[in-house]
Amino acid sequence: MPNPLFDAVNAVYTAQLGEIAWHEIAVDPSIATITAEHTMRVRMAIDSLLVREPGRALRFLEVAPYCHYTAQQIADEYGARAHAFDISPDSLRTAARLAREAGVAGEAVGTAGDFHDLPYRDDWFDVVFVASAVHHTWRPERVVAEMLRVLRPGGLLMLDNEPVGGRLCLYRFRSNRPESYTAFERVLAEHGVLNVLSSPFLGSRPEALFGMVENDRIPLATWEGALAGHERLGWELTPVVGAFESAVESGDGAGLESARNLLTGAIAAARPLVDERAVSLGYSLPDDVEIEALIARARELSGWIVAARDPAERLRRRADAFGAALRALVRKAGDVRAATGAAFRRELPVDRGVRIDLPRDAAVEIGLDRVLLPTIAPEAAEALAAVFPPEDWQLYTEGNGVHVEMNRGARASIRLPPRTEDGILLLRLYTVPSEAGIYRIHLVAGDAGESFTVAQGESRLARLFVPATIDRIELALAWPDGQAAELPMHVRASVCRLVPVRWRDA
């Protein structure tokens, strides 16, 4: 049944809800390593390229750091006034904790909000750093413009590992990460064409299941236009070149024929694997007409690449054709100066050490950072028993330290506390496949419900509108024919958040 309030919330907050649920679990062994790598690159830029203003502390901003603590490191090493800005308040709190545990003495001001509308004053920061994050929007130009706005003239904007879309890619489906490839994906990858059919940047299916934006199609011209007018100090393009692309860029008829054979051979090998599971995962293959159109485009781009005599221009064309990773470092145009006064251009409330600037909508009010249910963790076992009845769920600790609730049978309930507000339930589930075949998971809250098919082991986010009058969510596992699927320990709930929502004029 359509729900106008649920639809209104999703229209504005889909990405925020997905990011918050995704980042509530921060069990990532690479956080310290990546923080060190980012800090090293920032340090090199500051020491060799930044023109400092005498007598003023360095001002540093990292946009979308997740749980990395580069801002704290820069504050520690340079005595900087450091800021970290992310969509997830929990990620910022985790980063501050991890920094302390790593012995980093510097502190950063954490702010949670929307990077399309940064809350900082114009021309304030000396360095703005972002890594693998601008592509989480359909409006990358807007985000780059905001980062340049808050950067002072003469300051450094650093973009690390952002995607350039490939003109020679069909973008038919989002793939799993390599360690989770299905047989279908594995065959295409072994033939060197998965990045042609799916994306030059593989593995975006998990984030897409959470409603998070994964824009891997940003044209090179978009990046060039967004950074035009500023001094390029670094501009590294790393094209995504596999067997298919190597054949195309040879520039001769034999190479193009080899590319055609690679593609048709891979499709022939993968076609028998397009079974019920593959279809449920959204996989598909191009027909003969699409293949011929792709080969024609490859022929055109091959000649275009070969025609470039200048090595830099040839690299640019390869990146444009095949897709590439971009690392850019620019100096903002203008006389070296910085704004005076406070960093922020508007007053922000502080909640548990993080300033909150999450988006507001004129029609709906949402408590994105309010905690109405206990966090799924062993120390909350007693409180969790009231939400996840022990007869339906079992608390379980995995080897990587993630604490989850697992179903005991084909049906289970989630009990909600008495309240006066409607809400949206965010339930992060890990689903275990069954050798007996695909099955369905149904979630019901009164008249509202959500269902999805389980074809492989993966993490996904279920969103369910829960009126204030509903005190129980029903979860059921069923086979495609509707019969109950007795599959104990096949559903793991690792995040359960109830976010209050209401109309502003209610």
Indicate whether 218 belongs to any domain. Answer: no
Cite the beta strand spans of 96-230 per DSSP E. 108-113, 125-131, 151-164
Whole-number pLDDT of residue 336: 82
Whole-number pLDDT of residue 259: 94
Contact 214, 206 (CB under 8 A): no
Tens of pLDDT along the chain (506 residues)? Answer: 678 999 999 888 888 888 888 877 766 789 999 999 999 999 999 999 999 888 899 999 999 999 999 999 999 999 999 999 999 888 899 999 999 999 999 999 999 999 999 999 999 999 999 999 999 999 999 999 999 999 999 999 999 999 999 999 999 999 999 999 999 999 999 999 999 999 999 999 998 999 899 999 999 999 999 999 999 999 999 999 999 999 999 878 899 999 999 999 999 999 999 999 999 999 999 999 999 999 999 999 999 999 999 999 999 999 999 999 999 999 999 988 888 999 999 999 999 999 999 777 789 988 877 778 988 888 888 899 999 999 999 988 877 667 788 999 999 999 999 999 999 999 999 999 999 999 999 999 988 899 999 999 999 999 999 999 999 999 999 999 999 999 999 999 999 999 999 998 75
Report the alpha-carbon distance of residue 76 to residue 107 in Å, rounded: 7
Helices (H), 102-237: 140-150, 183-190, 194-197, 205-209, 220-226
Indicate whether 95 belongs to any domain. Answer: no
Strands 151-164 and 125-131: parallel
Report the alpha-carbon distance of residue 100 to residue 347 in Å, rounded: 27
Task: For residues 178 and 287, state if they share a domain.
Answer: yes
232: tokens are: 């390029």
Indicate whether 339 belongs to any domain. Answer: no
Report the alpha-carbon distance of residue 299 to residue 303 in Å, rounded: 6
Whole-number pLDDT of residue 506: 59
Task: For residues 177 and 266, state if they share a domain.
Answer: yes
Task: For residues 291 and 397, state if they share a domain.
Answer: no
Indicate whether 337 belongs to any domain. Answer: no
Indicate whether 156 belongs to any domain. Answer: no
Contact 68, 34 (CB under 8 A): yes
Indicate whether 439 belongs to any domain. Answer: yes
* pLDDT, tens only, 391-403: 999 988 877 667 7
Q: Which of 255, 276, 301 is the last residue of a domain?
A: 301
Indicate whether 443 belongs to any domain. Answer: yes
Task: For residues 286 and 406, state if they share a domain.
Answer: no
Task: For residues 418 and 495, state if they share a domain.
Answer: yes
- Residues making up the chain, counted from first to last: 506
Whole-number pLDDT of residue 397: 82
Which candidate, 413, 412, 393, places its Cα nearest to that of 403?
A: 393
Which candidate, 32, 155, 176, places its Cα nearest to that of 104?
A: 32
Structural domain count, the chain: 2
Task: For residues 402 and 485, state if they share a domain.
Answer: yes
Task: For residues 189 and 285, state if they share a domain.
Answer: yes
Task: For residues 182 and 295, state if they share a domain.
Answer: yes
Residues 439, 443, 444: CA angle, nearest 5 degrees:
140
Record the pTM.
0.92
| HSE-up of residue 158 (Cα within 13 Å, Cβ side) | 25
Contact 42, 80 (CB under 8 A): no
Which residue segment(s) compose the domain that 297 sits in?
173-201+241-301
Whole-number pLDDT of residue 400: 66
Indicate whether 277 belongs to any domain. Answer: yes
Q: Which of 258, 285, 301 is the last residue of a domain?
A: 301
CATH number at residue 406: 2.60.120.200
Phi-psi region of 60 (alpha: psi -120 to 50; beta: other; left: phi over 0): beta
Contact 326, 232 (CB under 8 A): no
Task: For residues 497 and 374, state if they share a domain.
Answer: yes
Contact 421, 468 (CB under 8 A): yes
Contact 166, 323 (CB under 8 A): yes
Task: For residues 484 and 387, state if they share a domain.
Answer: yes
Task: For residues 274 and 380, state if they share a domain.
Answer: no
Task: For residues 289 and 412, state if they share a domain.
Answer: no
Q: Which of 279, 301, 323 is the last residue of a domain?
A: 301
Backbone CA torsion sign across 98, 101, 103, 108? positive
